[in-house]
């Protein structure tokens, strides 16, 4: 199934019955493939049922594409099997690393954007696309740390990654907001420099202030999308970038109806502002 | 070694213990430490719900944090995380007054294993009755990929079932070994307390012997075992695949 530029929702198993009853026009769903890399059982049956009714997006969190090593071969095989099984409209991952020296750190870790890091990333993305037999899109990260040693701005780095690997991009607007806040940058300038033509999907999510240092924002996905993020989204859409847009929610997950209402807001923006642009 | 590899080494080490690495001096580094640890604890909590129920969430997360720092995840599929947690919690000195805890954790683990195991059609009793007695005796049954056996020196099955149901264990709890089979007959994982002969019989079948030989080896140890009833109960639970 292909994806029209409509709004989707991050799927949570507790919403399964509501989702299957939902007939919202253009609704699509995103899942983390790691949760469905099983041999069988009810989880896979649930994903099969979703795939029959809705376009799916597989959004990986653990391929560790920004590591100085190729992604795990077994993990890639499992991902390939899942792709063959549910035929997702979109496949994406993060511009981050998480697996290193046999250890999996369940987080999306940063790195200095050096020429060397770009070479590793390009190699890993090309390898992944070959193994999966399709293009993947990479998501711009949330930043908390000021790292030394960058050779590239992030937007130039992403543009060059696209040019060399042929990958797509996933523009997470909440990450842009959080990173700009934490690093003292201008989110609008970042968006204006972003290689929008390579973007295949947009993410919207909520964030929160850090408990110990409230001057830092955390990409927590545990709250409704903030107005500041909505206005950046409107900025992107009004520039003619009408793209599949996901409402992400991972913590304090509300009733499905609440997420559907947030999704409706994105859908309306796509239909009104996007069409007019 | 490449500069990126060195950066990753330093960063990963600094996540798990204090050491000299420039970004650690920034308050923001703690966000990575906290996020990674929280994800480990959330995964262990999700994978060991009966243990959480028995010890309480705060106690569990404190113990799980120790385990996570000694035994960090190795696989991006966090539902597999904590395969050595039952051994850890079973020998965890502060849990020495709960000698059943490691057994309960093992049963939680088998539940997850059964949940994610491969699919197969369940062999039902009706299929069996189409075979004559001789046919049945010679039959080598295939144990369903989602079937697991469990044996404990403690009454861990009773305690596990009470925890999963969210009720207190009755005052009539008898301290004795308990056994269970875990099956996923119809997409739902079930845990059934069984007697020792059932386990012996199922394990013999899993070794690949015929039903007749499995029966003989069971009766050799448990002379009073009613093989007909045992076989019926196992078929009913969906323990075998076609």
Tell me the ipTM for this assembly: 0.93
Mutate to test the interface with B, among A75, A77, A95, A144 (most CBs of B within 10 A): A144
Q: What pLDDT sits at residue B18?
A: 67
Can you tell me the distance from the alpha carbon of B147 to that of B110, in angstroms, rounded to the nearest whole number? 9
Beta pairing class for A199-204 and A208-209: unpaired
Q: What pLDDT sits at residue A176?
A: 98
CA distance A105 to chain B (A): 6
Q: Show residues of chain A in contact with B76, CB under 8 Å.
A: 34, 61-63, 72, 75, 98-99, 104, 106
Q: Is the pLDDT of residue B19 over 90?
A: no
Cβ–Cβ of B27/A216 closer than 8 Å? yes
> Per-residue pLDDT averaged across A219-234, rounded?
96
How deeply is A93 buried, as exposed, middle or buried, from its count of CB atoms within 10 A (0-12, 13-18, 19+)? buried
How deeply is A16 buried, as exposed, middle or buried, from its count of CB atoms within 10 A (0-12, 13-18, 19+)? middle
The total of structural domains in chain A comes to: 1
Q: How many CB pairs under 8 A join A and B?
A: 129
> Per-residue pLDDT averaged across A72-96, rounded?
98
- Give me the long-range contacts of B19-26 (CB less than 8 A, separation at least 24): B22/A148, B23/A145, B23/A146, B23/A147, B26/A145, B26/A146
Mutate to test the interface with B, among A35, A40, A99 (most CBs of B within 10 A): A40
The token pair at B88 is 């850890």
pLDDT in tens, A136-170: 999 999 999 999 999 999 999 999 999 999 999 99
Q: How far apart are the first and last CA of chain A?
A: 26
Cβ–Cβ of B187/A41 closer than 8 Å? yes
> Per-residue pLDDT averaged across B215-225, rounded?
96
pLDDT in tens, A246-268: 999 999 999 999 999 999 999 99
The token pair at B154 is 């403690």
Domain extent for A265: 7-276
Q: What pLDDT sits at residue A277?
A: 65
Q: Show residues of chain B in contact with A149, CB under 8 Å.
A: 3
The CATH number given to whatever domain includes residue A44 is 3.20.20.150
Q: Show residues of chain A in contact with B75, CB under 8 Å.
A: 104
Domain assignment present for residue A2? The answer is: no
Cβ–Cβ of B29/A148 closer than 8 Å? no
Q: Show residues of chain B in contact with A119, CB under 8 Å.
A: none
pLDDT in tens, A104-131: 999 999 999 999 999 999 999 999 999 9
- Of A70-74, A105-109, A254-258, B162-166, minimum mean pLDDT range: B162-166
Q: Show residues of chain A in contact with B26, CB under 8 Å.
A: 145-146
Q: Which pLDDT band, with edges at 50, 70 and 90, does B130 fall under?
A: confident
Cβ–Cβ of A101/B187 closer than 8 Å? no
Q: Find tokens 């193994």 and name the residue.
A: A131
Domain assignment present for residue A1? The answer is: no
Q: What pLDDT sits at residue B137?
A: 87
């Amino acid at each position: 199934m292909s994806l029209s530029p409509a709004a989707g929702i991050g799927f949570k198993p507790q919403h399964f019955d509501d989702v299957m009853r939902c007939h919202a026009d253009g609704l699509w769903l995103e899942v983390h493939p790691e949760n469905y890399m099983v041999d069988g059982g009810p989880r896979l049956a649930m994903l099969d049922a979703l795939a029959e009714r809705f376009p799916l997006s597989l959004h990986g969190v653990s391929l560790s594409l920004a590591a100085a090593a190729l992604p795990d071969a077994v993990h890639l095989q499992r991902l390939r099997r899942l792709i063959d099984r549910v035929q997702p409209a979109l496949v994406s991952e993060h511009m981050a690393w998480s697996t290193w020296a046999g250890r999996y750190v369940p987080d999306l870790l940063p790195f200095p954007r050096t020429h060397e890091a770009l070479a590793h990333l390009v190699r890993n993305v090309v390898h992944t696309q070959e193994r999966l037999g399709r293009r993947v899109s990479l998501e711009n990260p949330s930043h908390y740390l000021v790292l030394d040693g960058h050779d590239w701005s992030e937007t130039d780095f992403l543009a060059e990654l696209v040019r060399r690997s042929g990958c797509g991009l996933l523009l997470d607007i909440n990450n842009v907001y959080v990173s700009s806040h934490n690093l003292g940058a201008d989110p609008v300038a970042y968006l204006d420099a972003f290689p929008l033509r390579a973007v295949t999907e947009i993410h919207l999510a909520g964030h929160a202030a850090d408990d110990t240092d409230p001057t830092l924002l955390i990409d927590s996905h545990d709250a409704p999308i903030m107005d500041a993020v909505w206005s950046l989204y409107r900025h992107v859409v009004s520039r003619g970038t009408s793209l599949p847009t996901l409402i992400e929610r991972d913590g304090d997950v509300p009733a499905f109806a609440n997420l559907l209402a947030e999704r409706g807001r994105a859908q309306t923006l796509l239909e009104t502002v996007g069409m007019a642009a | 070694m490449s500069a990126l590899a060195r950066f990753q080494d330093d960063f990963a080490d600094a996540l798990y213990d204090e050491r000299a690495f420039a970004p650690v001096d920034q308050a923001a580094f703690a966000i990575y430490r906290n996020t990674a640890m929280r994800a480990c604890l959330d995964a262990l909590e999700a994978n060991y719900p009966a243990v959480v129920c028995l010890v309480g969430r705060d106690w569990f997360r404190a113990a799980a944090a120790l385990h996570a720092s000694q035994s960090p995840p190795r696989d991006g599929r966090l539902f597999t995380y904590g395969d050595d947690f039952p051994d850890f919690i079973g020998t965890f000195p502060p849990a020495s007054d709960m000698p059943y805890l490691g057994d309960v954790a093992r049963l939680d683990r088998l539940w997850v294993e059964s949940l994610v195991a491969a699919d197969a059609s369940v062999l039902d009793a009706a299929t069996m009755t189409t075979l004559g007695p001789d046919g049945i005796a010679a039959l080598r049954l295939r144990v369903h990929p989602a079937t697991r056996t469990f044996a404990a020196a403690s009454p861990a099955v009773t305690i596990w079932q009470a925890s999963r149901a969210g009720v207190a264990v009755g005052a009539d709890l008898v301290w004795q070994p308990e056994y269970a089979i875990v099956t996923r007959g119809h997409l739902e994982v079930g845990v059934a307390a069984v007697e020792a002969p059932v386990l012996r019989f199922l394990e013999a079948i899993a070794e690949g012997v015929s039903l007749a030989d499995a029966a003989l080896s069971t009766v050799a140890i448990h002379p009073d075992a009613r093989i007909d009833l045992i076989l019926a109960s196992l078929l009913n639970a969906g323990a075998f695949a076609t």
